[in-house]
Structure 1
Amino acid sequence: MSSSVAKPIIKQIKDRQDALDFFEHVSLPKEDEKTQEIIMNFPTVYIHNWQESGDFEVYVGESNDIFKRTRQHYDAASDNSKWQSKLLEKDASLFIIGHEHFNKSLTLDIENRLMHYMMSVDRVKHVHNLRDNPQTSYYPMEELDEIFSKIWRGLRKENKELFPTESVIKDSAIYKASPLHKLTKEQEKARELIIQKVSDALENGETKQLIFIDGEAGTGKTVLNSSTFYELYCQAEENNKEIKCHLLVNHDEQITVYEQIAEKLGLTEKYGKVVSKPTTFINNHSEGDPVDVAFVDKAHLLLTQGKQSYQGENQLKDIIDRARVTVVMFDENQILTTEQFWESQILEKYRNQAKATNNYIVLDKQLRMQADAATMDWIDSFTKKGQLKKLPNTFGGYSIKIFDNPELLDMEIQKRAKESDSALSRVIATYDWEYSSTRKPMAQDHLVKYWGVLIGKWHKPWNRELESELTRKEKRDIKGLAWAEQPKTINEVGSTFTIQGFDLNYAGVILGPSVKYRDGKIIFDPSASHNEKAVRNRTLSDGTKKKFGETLIQPEVRVLMTRGVNGMYIYACDPELRAALLAAAK
């Protein structure tokens, strides 16, 4: 794209009536004619911001008349129930942003992206806007990215705390799960269907309705989930209606991300606890008083048998019984433990229930990995069919490298992590090395400080093992951050349970002893795994017990091999597999 696009005009003033008057009547007339014209007569974008307990709160907007619109906000400031009242209480500031190419559509898209970015900033605790309004096609849509980047860099010169680098924003877990993403046509169609089905069910007083969405890793299930969830609340508020929506996920790290999103958008403050784990939801709700909608992200992680914290038999059934409409996002290729294992006939029963009412959706467009079809076919063949094909000559912008030494792989990931555009690069591995939360590791009668991945002389701690070394301040700084976002984790190895559901720029994948190559075929060996949840017996619905280790290790490998957005580096512990991978790369 041409760099001839003009610089934006960014003015920061005190967020008060007298300061606005001074800017309009004294400061602006002293500017050049072009600046006066753009601010006075063109659409503008603006950001009200103030600090609350050390963190920021913001409101982002756009207007054809910045002075009239800002005075309307000041007129509303006397109402303590509105965000504008904070402008009287706090030392607020106002950013006014203009550009010679701004029109209504472009300013709406700039506003949307600013809201999206602001919600992803660690220091921003609340974005007071209700909803976004993404545009489809307009002139000069092709200039959006360049104009926005120039705006963001200009804002960053004014306040680095409020406006961190774009790479930091885009690497955050909140950004990636945000409901403010512009949806693909496939996602928009699915969202419209879900909202219509929910509307019909509520209008007709229906209960136990199921909407089933199948989609593999990286096909946009989480964004669709959060976007539809938030849109229902926005529509209810606009129409002065009440709605009870709950967002459920059986994943510790992902639930933290959703809780932060709900807090930043004000949902927690208005509606209480709307994000929870399935067991908590089931225990706190009854069949006699169902909620309106239950969204279940990563429904493949739901329990299909009881355990100590959950005394039921199937969490999906229990959730459906407690909601008028249940929306599930499912990926059969990411089931990792025996307690999550689905017997095929039971899973098909739920799929068929959704299909019978035209409530079944498949997402199949890969949105995470910047890889071409040949590269995806190579990964699919490895992880689904046990076939090792020759590596493609090109990867469509994606990078796959094979290493014959774990230390070299680690060094390459460390190198990538120092680059600003790939800081979210980490080493991850199959669960083939011991770990215990109740005792310290022992090796050759000498105490080893950390549980970790040990290959020859190379050793790296498992995820979360280095937390004990952190100071109180460091622990406060990483609170709420996903594992890969924490700086110290570059010195750890992530497991499937930590990295599942999250992106990396580059993934350094260590295939442990459970992944082997024999007689021209990749095999999965449960006897070499330390993932007890995958290799132990499972009691089936007919009372028989069976092991599913091979079945469950295979998706474990797929989870690891689909984390990298820009590339994947591989080291295999099994000598035959390592040799075959090196040969496939030649």
Structure 2
Amino acid sequence: MPVNMSSKVASPIIRQIKDSRDALDFFESVLLPEEDEKTQKIIMNYPTVYIHNWKASGDFEVYVGESNDVFKRTRQHYDAASDRSAWQSRLLEKDARLFIIGHEHFNKSLTLDVENRLIHYLMSVDKVKHVHNQRGNPQNSYYPIEELDDIFQKIWKGLRKENKELFPTESSIKDSAIYKASPLHKLTKEQENARTLIIQKVIKALEDNETKQLIFIEGEAGTGKTVLNSSTFYELYCQAEEDNRKIDCHLLVNHDEQITVYEQIAEKLGLTEKYGKVVCKPTTFINNHSEDNPVDVAFIDEAHLLLTQGKQSYRGQNQLKDIIDRARVTVVMFDENQILTTEQFWESQILDEYRNQAKAVDNYIVLDKQLRMHADAATIDWIDSFTKKGELKKIPRASEDYTIKVFDSPELLDKEIKKRANESDSALSRVIATYDWEYSSINRPVNHLIKYWEVLIGGWHKPWNRELESELTRKEKRAINGLAWAEQPQTINEVGSTFTIQGFDLNYAGVIIGPSVKYRDGKIIFDPSASHNDKAVRNRTLSDGTKRKFGETLIQHEVRVLMTRGVNGMYIYACDPELQAELIKASK
């Protein structure tokens, strides 16, 4: 039987006091001497972690630290409070509280890792509007790193007993879009190497006064592009601040839901307050910057969503070219398999020009380790075969970490997703579908008897994404403000599309494969005539003036986006009878 490490790890010592010099003196001279000898020893002689926190305009601001002498360090913070520009000055004005955290196994490395994770968690809490730390300092190997998770879990539970508003459940934090896109994640070795290389290239380009430099990072869904992007972006600002030099970085993304997440991260980390608007959409960036005065660095997340032809809001012909022209260095995160619309479609020879431009100066990086899905190689191969080759292989057996399951009806799939969503460790489970049913964010259904744009299969029907938002009260709308589609509670009663779920994770994804995906003569085929995604099936004018359709390829990409959302599993129902029959056969 496996050993339960958590039961062997001692409970942490957590004390909460008023955050003031008098309260600290009283705690040290009166309250602590009343504690048992072991507690006194741990607080007085061991490294500790501490959290300053106070409320401002209804939300919390926090500072997390660690020290070998918490009393000396805290008094240094109080000494700094006379500086009105320092965060410590808030301690004099607000009803601030101080948490002091000790543990019998704390050493320098362990407290640094606990500090880093606390910063990461608290930045992801909805009620925390500002984390005043510059950045954490994640550690590598040390004793007892194997106890970190258990010790931290006990610390968080202890903090929750003190304040549930400031310390919500761990599962709610880990499911949040802000947590998943945070620059404070501990990077994998592959990501660390990529970040180091990017920063070296950026610094050299800035020192040499170069312009129009391109760094091209390619990786499929779930390979850690977003975390690498946000981490590198933030690290450049932190290094510049430490070196007392200026840097002008901008983070761009052409995705409505994802840009909201980045804006919140920039605000919580104080970047917006210090540097102004550093996150925006590509068109906004292009319109507000000129080639004559380029910014230092432009980071583009989901660069495959950039426009490669003009539309109403964008009058140019290629957003990537326009951004490169307005930046000394442009860093792009790209996945060709997530291009979903004709206006984003890249002609292969044009895309290869950019790849080769980066390769020529060793600025081309590939991320190939799957970090999102807890799936084994056989499961990844099954999804690759389905979405890239049109092949339907035998579905691999379920493992402890990942499951693919085929359902006999959309009702049963929906019921299972709702069941999962009621479990604390898989609350972020939703039904998503190919864009094969009519929807408009502007117009209402012509048939006034139909209340919503819906996904309709036989007698089962369910509203498309964002349809139920209009029925929420003002209070409910305020509560979901800034949350990604899947994080909003009412969306358990909706069906998500690629346009709401792209770039985000789900615990379990209930994938409804609509009529645009069929099985004929032993092959999966993608049928644009059955799709309602006009942006995928209409003509595209190419650079030589000819018009072509790319619907089959774009629907193939759409299915891949849906099938790579689930961290722990994917449930499937197919509308095409032949495909559904083959899926059931493949699952047996």
User: Does TM, scored on the shorter chain, surpass 0.5?
Assistant: yes
State the shift of 1:393 in Å. 2.4
Q: Secondary structure at the match of 1:197?
A: helix
Describe how 1:444-483 pairs up with structure 2 within 5 A: 447-483=449-485
Other-structure match for 2:567: 565
Other-structure match for 2:17: 13
Q: Out of 288, 293, 307, which is 2:292 matched to?
A: 288
Describe how 1:24-39 pairs up with structure 2 within 5 A: 24-39=28-43
Tell me the alpha carbon deviations over residues 288-318 of structure 1, each in whole angstroms, 9 at most, x when there is no partner.
0000000000000000000010000000000
Other-structure match for 2:273: 269
Tell me the alpha carbon deviations over residues 212-235 of structure 1, each in whole angstroms, 9 at most, x when there is no partner.
000000000000000000000000
The AA in structure 2 aligned to 1:392 is P
Q: Secondary structure at the match of 1:60?
A: strand
Say whether 1:336 aligns with 2:340: yes
Other-structure match for 1:249: 253
Q: Secondary structure at the match of 2:477?
A: helix
The AA in structure 1 aligned to 2:236 is L
| Contact 1:374/1:395, CA 8 A, preserved across alignment | no
Stretch of structure 1 that moved more, 446-455 or 248-257:
446-455
Other-structure match for 1:406: 410
Other-structure match for 1:177: 181
Say whether 1:351 aligns with 2:355: yes
Describe how 1:47-196 pairs up with structure 2 within 5 A: 47-196=51-200
State the shift of 1:183 in Å. 0.1
Other-structure match for 2:491: 489
The AA in structure 2 aligned to 1:582 is I
Q: Mind listing any 5+ residue stretches in structure 1 that lack a counterpart?
A: none
The AA in structure 1 aligned to 2:586 is A
The AA in structure 2 aligned to 1:102 is F
Q: Distance in 2 between matches of 1:419 and 1:564?
A: 15
| Contact 1:248/1:296, CA 8 A, preserved across alignment | yes
| Contact 2:397/2:403, CA 8 A, preserved across alignment | no
Provide the aligned length of Structure 1 versus Structure 2: 584
Q: Out of 516, 541, 551, which is 1:539 matched to?
A: 541
Q: Distance in 2 between matches of 1:132 and 1:240?
A: 19
Say whether 1:514 aligns with 2:516: yes
| Contact 2:398/2:404, CA 8 A, preserved across alignment | no
Tell me the alpha carbon deviations over residues 497-516 of structure 1, each in whole angstroms, 9 at most, x when there is no partner.
00000000000000000000
| Contact 1:370/1:396, CA 8 A, preserved across alignment | no
Q: Distance in 2 between matches of 1:374 and 1:549?
A: 28
The TM-score, its normalising length taken from structure 2, stands at 0.99
The TM-score, its normalising length taken from structure 1, stands at 0.99
Q: Secondary structure at the match of 1:361?
A: strand
The AA in structure 1 aligned to 2:519 is Y
Identity %: 85
Q: Secondary structure at the match of 1:57?
A: strand
Runs of 4+, deviation exceeding 4 Å: none
| Contact 2:454/2:461, CA 8 A, preserved across alignment | yes
Say whether 1:260 aligns with 2:264: yes
The AA in structure 1 aligned to 2:419 is K
State the shift of 1:396 in Å. 5.7
The AA in structure 1 aligned to 2:459 is K
Q: Distance in 1 between matches of 2:426 and 2:446?
A: 35
Describe how 1:307-318 pairs up with structure 2 within 5 A: 307-318=311-322
Tell me the alpha carbon deviations over residues 369-391 of structure 1, each in whole angstroms, 9 at most, x when there is no partner.
00000000000000000000001
| Contact 1:46/1:60, CA 8 A, preserved across alignment | yes
Q: Distance in 2 between matches of 1:386 and 1:203?
A: 49
Q: Distance in 1 between matches of 2:266 and 2:404?
A: 37
Tell me the alpha carbon deviations over residues 326-365 of structure 1, each in whole angstroms, 9 at most, x when there is no partner.
0000000000000000000000000000000000000000
Q: Secondary structure at the match of 1:465?
A: coil
Q: Out of 421, 425, 435, which is 2:429 matched to?
A: 425
Q: Secondary structure at the match of 2:130?
A: strand
State the shift of 1:439 in Å. 2.5
Tell me the alpha carbon deviations over residues 476-506 of structure 1, each in whole angstroms, 9 at most, x when there is no partner.
0000000000000000000000000000000
